[in-house]
Structure 1
Amino acid sequence: MDLPFLYETFLTLISAVPLTLQLAASAIILGAVLALGLALCRLSGILPLDWLARAYIFVFRGTPLLVQIFLIYYGLGQFREVRQSMFWFVLRDPYWCAVIALMLNTASYSAEIIRGGLLAVPHGQIEAARACGMSRLLVFRRITMPLAIRQALPGYSNEMISMVKATSLASVITIMEVTGVAAKLISETYRAVEVFMVAGAIYLAINFILTRFVAIAEYQMSPHLRQPASLRDVPAAEAR
């Protein structure tokens, strides 16, 4: 194994990590906002909104992300109306096309995760909050949403990890993130194994750090986990 080459490869690929993180963060944040809207549509009880959200989720979960990227980047530019619209300055940029595709894709999966978290909130706590005089908006902001986030966080962390890995597909539309730089390096050196080993290690390190942050967030949002072990082991009656 050529250690100097691996080190040089690492230095080359690490320069593309900020773009990879920027892609993933943009898609996750924008996708979370869209996913929340879709989840609320599913739970609204309004049939047209429910079916619209169902159709969206069905389409974007049922088609490959690579196809979605191609359709957005190459497909929309085929329409003159799109090229002449106010959105063309965004859609002609491969970075924003990748962000849009990743956002739309992750929103379809995240919507079902968030919906599951909302449904897992105990109804008794919502009724107790309403009995205290809280408005619907206040109940949602202070009771429903925090509990739903805590319930959905373990599943949502898997989707965030998937998004970090999915950024590698952006390389097919000329974005030079980690995989794009790796492909360029392979075309110059013809040493695919070593280059992809380093690229895989970088993705692994990013996702390891991400999982640690999620674990910390889950710990902070779970007060019962922060109790001393002696109190957790004592039955509730004895603790009182």
Structure 2
Amino acid sequence: MDERLKLYGFNNLTKALSFNIYDVCYAKTPREQKEYIAYIDQQYNSERLTDILTHVVEMIGAKILHISRQDYDPQGASVTILVAEESQVPVELTGETVLAHLDKSHVTVHTYPEYHPDKCLATFRVDIDVATCGEITPLSTLDYLIGSFDSDIITMDYRVRGFTRAEDGRKLFMDHYMSSIQNYIKKETLERYDAVDINVYQANLFHTRMLIKEMDLQNYLFNIDTHELPPKVRLEITNNLRQEMIEIFSGRNVF
């Protein structure tokens, strides 16, 4: 916001960012697929995910009220952090707990490792949701989130719900200018991806999806070097990886 809005009461707009990333990998055998799943599951366990989300909370200027985290068997992890604005946290007064208006805000992450049964491909999916209330907006965290994961495909949804009220009684359904999620991502980050928008401005609903442009095959091979593969095999693997990415990006089975 360029200028602080003069409101009647507090800002109760609810802002929700849903951030999903997919990391695709080639693992030569079923055994290596399972080893990759185990590896990526350990790399992004609940402890590391908690560290990432804690930094997200710091970036949006919120206060952590409670953290709940869990690693799952055989794979996957979840973290949920309850947050509030600094001025809205519970305080204790003369032995009694007093609650100011509590923003019903939270940050969550869930991981979903899986693999293709036929094409020696494994996919690691991460879903992050940041829900805030009031002046806090989660859009400033996008570059950090993209950089925190190996993001081949990214889908993002941002929505502002409800309304707040100006001092003169007018309803305000949006408290900041918004035309595209891409406006909140650094230029050098966007240059690495093909990006498209689907926006419903009347509903304050914004959607962006991104697909990595350049592929270095070595970055997608698990426990194998590109020099060990003949050119024809390298081309086949590259095509399979790209097809998998296109289908995830498109949200449908294309090939």
TM-score, normalising length from structure 2?
A: 0.27
Structure 1 or 2: more helix by fraction: 1
Structure 1 or 2: more strand by fraction: 2
TM-score, normalising length from structure 1?
A: 0.29
Which has the larger Rg? 1
